[in-house]
C-alpha cells in the first residue's frame, strides 16, 4: 500500500480504523521526499521533526478514544507566503530571508484545530509573481510528470508536492490563476474560492483585491474536505464574507443532468494548443453523455483581462511591497545613510520580475497616469464582472481550458514576459470578477496532464464540486500519477 499516493479521505478512514498510524503516514511522506525532492525541489524547507511530533499527538489521541476531525494526521504542505508561527516565511524572496512570523494565518489556525501534520513550506514564484515557479529567489521547481518542464506558478511547489507524493494536501494562493494553472500542469485538483470565502489574514499580500488562499489536492473529495476546514468568516480580515459555509462533501454527487454549461467563444479561439482543444472537446462529450447541456456563450470583455490585470495587480503590489525596506524585518544591506540602505536592500532583495511589477504599478498610480491606466482598468474590471453576471443568468457554470498549453519547458519563456503572462489568459478574469473556479484533470497531451476549469457564480463552490466530481468519476484520471 503506497500511502503517499492515497487521497486524504481514504487515509483518514485507515487512521480511524487503526490500520495505519499517523507516524507511519508521516514517515512514508518523508521517505518519498528523501527519494525525489532532490529532483523536484518542491520545498523551500521541510519540518520533519515537528511533523513527527504532530503525528505522535494524533496517534495518542486515537489511542485514547478521542473522536478526530476528518483531516487529523494528514500531511499537508504550505505555500511559503502563508504565515506559520515560528517557521521561516520568505515568499521565495531574498528580501524576507530569515523572517519568522510570530503568529499563524487564520487558515493555519483552523488546520491546527483539525490536527493536520504540516510537512513544510513550498517553493513559489517570488511574492506569487509568476506562472512557472522559475521566479523563485532560490531555485526553480520541476514538474513531476516531466522534470524538464515547469510545474506552473505561482503555487508550483504546492502542486508539484501533491503530484509527486511529497504531500497529501497543500495550500496555495491564487491572484490570477496561481492555484489553477499549476494544478492543470501537474495533474491535480485546484480551487480558487470566491473572494472573501477564505480568510486572507496571515497571507503575505501581493494584490489584496485579488488574492485568495485555496486547496490543491489529489482528488475532488479531498478538495471539498480541505475547503470545509479553511472556509468561513474571520473578523480579522475586513474582506471576509459573513457567509454560512455548508459541508461541501454533500455536493459530491456524480450527476450533472440538467446542468447548463456555457463555453465562452473567447476562450476557444486562437492561442489554444490543439491538444488542449482536443481535451476540452472530449470533456464536453463526457458531460453531454452524462446529461449536461453544453452551449457556446460569450464574455465579450474578457479579452481585456490581461491588460486590466497587469495594471491592477502591479498597482496593488507596488503599495503592498513598499513595506520591505530593510528596517523592520528580513534583509538589510548596510549603508552610510537610510536612503542608500533602502535602495541597496530593495535592489538586492527583489528579483527581476518583482521589480518589473513594482515599476509597472508605480507608473500606473503616478500623477497624470492614474486616470488613464489604473482607473480605466478598474472600469474594465466592472465590465468583466457584469459579463459573468449576465452569463450566470443563462448558465449554471462556465467551462474553459485552465491554461492554453500543457506545461512548457523550463527556460522556454523566461526571456519573454508577455508570453509568460499569456499562460494565465484563461484564469485572470475569474480573479477580477471575484468568482470561484476549480481546475480538474481533463485528459493528457502525450504524457502531460491537461486541466479544465469550471467557473461558478459567487459562493457556488458546491456546484463546482458537483460538476468536477462527476467529471472526475467519468474520466477516471484521479488514480494516475507521474512515474518519476
Q: Which residues are catalytic?
A: 79, 154, 178
- Strand order from edge to edge, sheet including 43-46: 43-46, 117-122, 75-79, 169-174, 212-217, 189-192, 437-445, 448-455, 397-401, 260-264, 293-297
- The answer to whether 282 and 265 are in contact (CB under 8 A) is no
State how far the Cα of 373 lies from the Cα of 313, in Å rounded to an integer.
Answer: 12
* Cα(385)–Cα(312) distance, integer angstroms: 15
Peptide bond into 154 cis (omega under 30): yes
Q: How many CA atoms within 13 Å lie on the side-chain side of 368?
A: 1
Spatial CB neighbours of 324, under 8 Å, sequence gap ≥ 6 = 95, 96, 330, 345, 346, 349, 350
Which residues lie closer than 8 Å to 241 by C-beta, 6 or more apart?
194, 196, 197, 233, 459
**C-alpha cell of 116?**
493536520
CA distance 285 to 399: 13
Strand spans (E) along 318-474: 397-401, 437-445, 448-455
Please identify which residue in the block is written with the cell numbers 473567447: 266
- Please give the Cα distance from 410 to 151 (Å, whole number): 9
The answer for residues whose C-beta is within 8 angstroms of residue 347's C-beta and 6 or more apart is none
> Which grid cell is 426?
484563461
The rounded distance, in Å, linking the Cα atoms of 110 and 96 is 25
CA distances from 463 to 42, 249, 263, 395 (A): 31, 11, 16, 12
Burial letters 316-338, b for 16+ CB under 10 A, else e: bbbbbbeebbbeeebbbbeeeee
Do the beta carbons of residue 202 and residue 230 sit within 8 Å? no
Spatial contact of 216 and 182, defined as CB atoms under 8 Å apart: yes
Amino acid at each position: 500500500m503506497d500511502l503517499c499516493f492515497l487521497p486524504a479521505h481514504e487515509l483518514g478512514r485507515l487512521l480511524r480504523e487503526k490500520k495505519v498510524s499517523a507516524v507511519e503516514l508521516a514517515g512514508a511522506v518523508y521517505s518519498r521526499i528523501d527519494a525525489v525532492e532532490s529532483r523536484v525541489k518542491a520545498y523551500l524547507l521541510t519540518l520533519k521533526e515537528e511533523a513527527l511530533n504532530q503525528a505522535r499527538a494524533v496517534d495518542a489521541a486515537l489511542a485514547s478514544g478521542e473522536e478526530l476531525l476528518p483531516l487529523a494526521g494528514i500531511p499537508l504542505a504550505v505555500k511559503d507566503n502563508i504565515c506559520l508561527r515560528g517557521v521561516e516565511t520568505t515568499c521565495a524572496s531574498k528580501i524576507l530571508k530569515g523572517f519568522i512570523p510570530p503568529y499563524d494565518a487564520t487558515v493555519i489556525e483552523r488546520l491546527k484545530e483539525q490536527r493536520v501534520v504540516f510537512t513544510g513550506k513550498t517553493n513559489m514564484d517570488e511574492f506569487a509573481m509568476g506562472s512557472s515557479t522559475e521566479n523563485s529567489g532560490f531555485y526553480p521547481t520541476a514538474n513531476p510528470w516531466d522534470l524538464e518542464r515547469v510545474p506552473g506558478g505561482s503555487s508550483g511547489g504546492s502542486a508539484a508536492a501533491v503530484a509527486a507524493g511529497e504531500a497529501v494536501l497543500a495550500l496555495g494562493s491564487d491572484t490570477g490563476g496561481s492555484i489553477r494553472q499549476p494544478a492543470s500542469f501537474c495533474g491535480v485538483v485546484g480551487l480558487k474560492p470566491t473572494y472573501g470565502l477564505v480568510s486572507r489574514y496571515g497571507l503575505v499580500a501581493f494584490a489584496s483585491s485579488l488574492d485568495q488562499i485555496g486547496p490543491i489536492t489529489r482528488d475532488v473529495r479531498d478538495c471539498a474536505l480541505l475547503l470545509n476546514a479553511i472556509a468561513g468568516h474571520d473578523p480579522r480580515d475586513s474582506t471576509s464574507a459573513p457567509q454560512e459555509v455548508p459541508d461541501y462533501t454533500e455536493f459530491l454527487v456524480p450527476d450533472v443532468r440538467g446542468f447548463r454549461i456555457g463555453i465562452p467563444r473567447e476562450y476557444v479561439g486562437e492561442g489554444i494548443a490543439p491538444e488542449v482543444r482536443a481535451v476540452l472537446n472530449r470533456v464536453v462529450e463526457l458531460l453531454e453523455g452524462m446529461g449536461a447541456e453544453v452551449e457556446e456563450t460569450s464574455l465579450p470583455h474578457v479579452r481585456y483581462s490581461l491588460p486590466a490585470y497587469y495594471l491592477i495587480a502591479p498597482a496593488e503590489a507596488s503599495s503592498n511591497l513598499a513595506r520591505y525596506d530593510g528596517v523592520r524585518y528580513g534583509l538589510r544591506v548596510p549603508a552610510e545613510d537610510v536612503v542608500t540602505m533602502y535602495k541597496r536592500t530593495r535592489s538586492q532583495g527583489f528579483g527581476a520580475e518583482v521589480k518589473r511589477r513594482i515599476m509597472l504599478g508605480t507608473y500606473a498610480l503616478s500623477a497624470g497616469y492614474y486616470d488613464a491606466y489604473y482607473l480605466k482598468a478598474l472600469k474594465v474590471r466592472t465590465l468583466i464582472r457584469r459579463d459573468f453576471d449576465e452569463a450566470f443568468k443563462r448558465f449554471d457554470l462556465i467551462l474553459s481550458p485552465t491554461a492554453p498549453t500543457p506545461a512548457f519547458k523550463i527556460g522556454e519563456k523566461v526571456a519573454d514576459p508577455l508570453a509568460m503572462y499569456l499562460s494565465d489568459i484563461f484564469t485572470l478574469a475569474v480573479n477580477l470578477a471575484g468568482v470561484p473556479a476549480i481546475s480538474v484533470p481533463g485528459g493528457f497531451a502525450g504524457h502531460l496532464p491537461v486541466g479544465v476549469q469550471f467557473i461558478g457564480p459567487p459562493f457556488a463552490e458546491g456546484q463546482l464540486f458537483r460538476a468536477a466530481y462527476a467529471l472526475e468519476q467519468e474520466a477516471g484520471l484521479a488514480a494516475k500519477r507521474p512515474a518519476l
